[in-house]
Every structure is written in structure tokens, then in C-alpha cells.
Amino acid sequence: MTVVDLALIAGPAIVVIGLVGHLLVGDLLRRIVALNVASGGVMMVLLAIAARGEAPDPVPQALVLTGIVIMAAVTGVALALARRVDAVTDESEGR
């Protein structure tokens, strides 16, 4: 079993772990982290698909790099929104 085969097995497992974590956890911060875990699994699968042939395919590698940048930006916005939601709910509860 090669590293590519292991990545093709582990990638979907990581996606499932992230999605289950997102669905079962109520805390906003943990849900954001769970989605980041799931996207990491998707990126692992894309990189494994790119490495299957003799010469690596640059298109999935470019998609993964673009996904990393987009994931970082979306995570930052999601964390800012979660912080704001937490502040607003604390004010409305009188804490």
C-alpha cells in the first residue's frame, strides 16, 4: 500500500470526522474547526489524486493552494462573525 493509497483512504475518513463534528457540536468555534478538518480531508484527497501518475498533475495542486487561501479567509470571517454573535447574545442575556 502506497502513500497515495493511504491518503485516498484517510482523506474521506477525515471529511466524515469533520462533518460529523460539525453536525453534533453546538459551539460555534468547534463547528468552524470541524469544517476546517473536513476541508483538510478534501485537500488530502485532491493531492492524492494529483500524485497518482508518474508526473504529478498541477491542476489539483493549484486547486489545493487556492483552497488553502480561501479556507483561511473564510475561517477568519467566520471567527469574526462567531465573536460578534457571542457578544450580541451575551448583551441580550444581560451578562
Containing 64, the helix (H) or strand (E) segment is: helix 58-93
Give the cell for residue 71.
479556507
How many structural domains are present in the chain? 1
Residue 94 is predicted with a pLDDT of: 67
**Domain holding 69: CATH number?**
1.10.287.3510
Which residue has 483512504 as its cell numbers?
9
The whole-angstrom separation of Cα 86 and Cα 28 is 9
User: By residue range, what is the domain housing residue 72?
Assistant: 3-93
Residue in the block written with cell 460529523? 20
Sequence length of the chain is 95
pTM of the model: 0.84
Cα–Cα distance measured from residue 40 to residue 15, given in angstroms and rounded to the nearest whole number: 7
Per-residue pLDDT of the chain (95 residues; tens, 9 = 90+): 899 999 999 999 999 999 999 999 989 999 999 999 999 999 999 999 988 878 888 898 999 999 999 999 999 999 999 999 999 988 777 66
For the chain, state the CA radius of gyration: 17
| Separation of alpha carbons 47 and 7, rounded Å | 8
